[in-house]
Amino acid sequence: MKIKQFNIKKFVAVLVVVSCFFTNIVRVDASWLTIETFQSKFQIVDFSDNMLKTTDGDRYGFMKIDGTIISAVQWDEADDFREGVAIICKDRKYGLLNLDGDIIVDTIYNSMRWMNNQVLLVSKNGKYGCIDIKGKVIIDLQWDNTFVFYEGLAFVKKGSTSYCIDESGKIIFKGEWDKVGYFQNGLAHVINTKNNLYGFIDKKGALALEVNPEYTNYYGIKEKLEISKLNNFEQGIFSFKTSGGGQGYGDVNGTIIYYSSIGNTAFFDYGINNIIVENGISKIMNDNGKVIKSLPGEIVNGLSADCFVLRYSNQLALVHANGDFITGFDFKDVWKYNDTLAIIEKNNLQKGIIDLYGNMVIEPTWDSMMSAGDGLIFAEKNYKWLLIDADNNVVDSEYDWLQTMRNEKQAFVLTTKNKKVGLLDISGNILLKNEWDSIISTDTEDTFLVQKGDTYQVMKLQEEGKTMENNTTSFVINGKQ
């Protein structure tokens, strides 16, 4: 069971919008089964693998929900449990702790992070390698750099030589490259400035495509570009940067098809066009590098395969991918929700919802709009928040703050009113009233950890019409571990 705590003072959301009409919804209280009740003067910040992570504000420890302390509050850092182990840190040295509280990997490493569910990347004395969750070294700590596996392979360095290794640490090939990228669709970009080599290699280390850095500019003059970085293929086109700050594009033949010394280019990654911004003009370019339309202003971002946002004189407009204007420069800001809707902000800072054909779905009369996910949107006016649910209904209650909370299967809404938190489902039904100091979600479906003062309860939401025996265990944790 994995639990993640949400801080009611912080909220980061991807903007989500739905068209809505104002109707009241049916709201009911929920039935709960209390699984455990306990008290603790330590703050509980996580619950994973049936293990509570506690803190005194500076250090961390672990205990079980039956009251058994498995590790005193002593660690400078402590990750959540994963695959039965947790990364711990003391005096800037990292190790591993198991569910019994045993240190199975001593705190001897300078850094440690997960590579996958069974492998961790570690470093000691400036050298990097990998261990498994039992502490066995599976890739020797001999490499000069951190690394990440893409398509089963990673690039590492020792001195001036780069090596490509697999997930067992076996060296597949090596090369003298100044810069290497990562594998994407079977190719990785490499640069060897000494041999004037720019291109892409395959998984055997063979040069699959060499890039010719020569480019014929607008005046018919050939330039040789000092390419400093290649980026992998997107829709058959790669992008690059030069040592002088310029940027451009090349095709599948390794030919440079566009270059801008200004260095303000942007790739329009919806498979329609490429956008180049130069001297305040946005140019829509086809896959052959030919400019098919020029627009005043700068492309801000894409909203869909058919629509992007254009900025001119600090005002924004919606434009079709063919260059036709959908709206005028009417907005101060625009946020994407999905391929059909966006949130807009007018110059008076009021927010509303528009579709990508230019039709206003919700008039811009709200002070704030934020995403809740799963078809929900939070709307605020005069410092009070309302929830618009997935069925386009508006909850008639007002809250001081709203925030999404989710487990692996579904989403909920954490509410704040008068400094107390409560819980709604995505239809706006009240699951827990605003009477708790904190509510912590769990990846286990419908199970939460709630707090009131020093008392915590593990509670499970019951199905409608279903009753279960309340099998509550109570215990007290003193202020010291």
- The closest of 311, 315, 352 to 331, measured between CA atoms, is 315
- How many Cα neighbours within 13 Å face the side chain of 230? 35
DSSP, res 67: S
pTM of the model: 0.69
Confidence of residue 392 (pLDDT cuts 50, 70, 90): low
383 has a pLDDT exceeding 80: yes
Question: What is residue 255's predicted lDDT score, i.e. its pLDDT?
Answer: 87
**481: in domain:** no
SS3 call for 352: strand
Question: What is residue 16's predicted lDDT score, i.e. its pLDDT?
Answer: 28
Write out the DSSP string of 300-332. Answer: EEEEETTEEEEEETTEEEEEETTS-BSS-S-BS
Sign of the C-alpha dihedral computed for residues 132, 138, 142 and 145 taken in this order? negative
d(CA 293, CA 285): 7
Residues 6+ apart with CB under 8 A from 78: 53, 60, 61, 62, 86, 87, 88, 89, 97
395 has a pLDDT exceeding 60: yes
Tokens matching residue 405: 């909370």
Question: What is residue 187's predicted lDDT score, i.e. its pLDDT?
Answer: 92
Longest Cα–Cα distance of the chain, Å, equals 84
Question: What is residue 183's predicted lDDT score, i.e. its pLDDT?
Answer: 93
User: In the chain, what percentage of residues exceed pLDDT 70?
Assistant: 81
Pairing of strands 32-39, 473-476: parallel
Question: What is residue 391's predicted lDDT score, i.e. its pLDDT?
Answer: 55
d(CA 90, CA 101): 15
> What's the domain range around 196?
2-476
Place of tokens 């020569």: 214
- The closest of 215, 210, 176, 173 to 193, measured between CA atoms, is 176
pLDDT, one tens digit per residue, over 432-480 is 999 999 998 876 778 888 999 988 898 888 864 333 333 333 333 333 3
Selected residue with higher pLDDT from 356 and 260:
356
Write out the DSSP string of 72-103. Answer: EEEESEEPPPBTTEEEEEETTEEEEEETTS-E
Pairing of strands 222-224, 43-48: unpaired
d(CA 98, CA 111): 18
Residues 6+ apart with CB under 8 A from 118: 83, 132, 133
pLDDT, one tens digit per residue, over 145-187 is 999 999 999 999 999 899 999 999 999 999 999 899 899 889 9
Confidence of residue 267 (pLDDT cuts 50, 70, 90): very low
**91: in domain:** yes
Question: What is residue 235's predicted lDDT score, i.e. its pLDDT?
Answer: 64
DSSP, res 213: -
**246: in domain:** yes
Q: What is the dihedral of CA 337, 340, 345, 346, to 10 degrees?
A: 180
Residue 61 class from Cβ within 10 Å (0-12 exposed, 13-18 middle, 19+ buried)? buried
Question: What is residue 338's predicted lDDT score, i.e. its pLDDT?
Answer: 73
Selected residue with higher pLDDT from 5 and 287:
287
Confidence of residue 27 (pLDDT cuts 50, 70, 90): very low
Question: For residues 95 and 77, is the Cβ–Cβ distance under 8 A?
Answer: no
Confidence of residue 244 (pLDDT cuts 50, 70, 90): confident
Give the total number of structural domains in the chain. Answer: 1
d(CA 436, CA 449): 11
Long-range contacts of 348-353, Cβ-Cβ distance < 8 Å, separation of 24 or more: 351/379, 353/17, 353/18, 353/19
The alpha-helical segments, DSSP class H, found in 107-235 are none
User: In the chain, what percentage of residues exceed pLDDT 90?
Assistant: 41
The strand pairing partners of 371, in sequence order, are 377
d(CA 196, CA 331): 47
User: What is the overall mean pLDDT for the chain?
Assistant: 81
Question: What's the whole-number mean pLDDT along residues 258-277?
Answer: 55
Say how far residue 383 (Cα) sits from the centre of its chain: 28
pLDDT, one tens digit per residue, over 211-228 is 999 887 766 788 888 888
Tokens matching residue 434: 């605003």
Question: What is residue 132's predicted lDDT score, i.e. its pLDDT?
Answer: 97
**361: in domain:** yes
pLDDT, one tens digit per residue, over 93-124 is 999 999 999 999 999 999 999 999 899 999 99
SS3 call for 61: strand
286 has a pLDDT exceeding 80: no
Question: What is residue 473's predicted lDDT score, i.e. its pLDDT?
Answer: 34
DSSP, res 196: T
pLDDT, one tens digit per residue, over 30-79 is 789 888 888 888 888 888 777 889 999 999 999 887 778 999 999 999 99
Confidence of residue 259 (pLDDT cuts 50, 70, 90): confident
**118: in domain:** yes
Question: What is residue 18's predicted lDDT score, i.e. its pLDDT?
Answer: 27
b/e per residue 159-187 (b: at least 16 CB within 10 A): eeebbbbeeebeeeebbebebbbbbeeeb
| Rg of the chain (C-alpha set) | 28
**61: in domain:** yes
Place of tokens 């938190």: 421
**59: in domain:** yes
What are the strands of the beta sheet with 32-39, ordered from one edge? 69-75, 60-64, 51-55, 43-48, 2-5, 438-442, 447-452, 455-461, 32-39, 473-476
**178: in domain:** yes
